[in-house]
Amino acid sequence: AQTVTQSQPEMSVQEAETVTLSCTYDTSESDYYLFWYKQPPSRQMILVIRQEAYKQQNATENRFSVNFQKAAKSFSLKISDSQLGDAAMYFCAYRSADFGNEKLTFGTGTRLTIIP
């Protein structure tokens, strides 16, 4: 079974600074997808960024980028120019690429605080 580990229960960053959230995972599969979801106080889960394991290029979405290290099974999220609206719980998630095995395995989350 796959596992996802987020070793930082809480992180804080000064507004406009950069912060990196870590995520590691364990799998025996070679093809899979990785995601970062954000859950603000409203508790609505919002997709931040996705990465296909077969792609070597790191995904980027505006101020959000990932550092995907397949061999190390690491998938960190970098948030640049942090904004107050970035304050939330961030969950890393894994999904197999196997058709029919669509479940997401989530990490325990990292609570990000933005300091004005």
Partner 1 sequence: GAVVSQHPSRVICKSGTSVKIECRSLDFQATTMFWYRQFPKKSLMLMATSNEGSKATYEQGVEKDKFLINHASLTLSTLTVTSAHPEDSSFYICSARDSGVGYQETQYFGPGTRLLVL
Question: Interacting stretch for partner 1, rule CB under 8 A, among 11-19, 41-49, 66-74, 77-85?
Answer: 41-49
62 contributes a contact to partner 1 by CB under 8 A: no
Please check whether residue 46 is in contact with residue 17, taking contact to mean a CB–CB distance below 8 angstroms: no
Q: Which of 73, 72, 76, 89 has the alpha carbon at shortest distance from 18?
A: 76
Interface residue with partner 1 among 11, 27, 33, 58 (CB under 8 A) is 33
Smallest separation (angstroms) from partner 1 to the CB of 80: 23
Interface residue with partner 1 among 2, 27, 50, 70 (CB under 8 A) is 50
109 contributes a contact to partner 1 by CB under 8 A: yes
103 contributes a contact to partner 1 by CB under 8 A: yes
- Contacts of 52-59 spanning 24+ positions with Cβ under 8 A: 53/97
Q: Which residue has the tokens 């409203």?
A: 42
Q: Which residues bind partner 1 (CB under 8 A)?
A: 33, 35, 37, 42-47, 50, 91, 95, 97, 102-104, 106-109
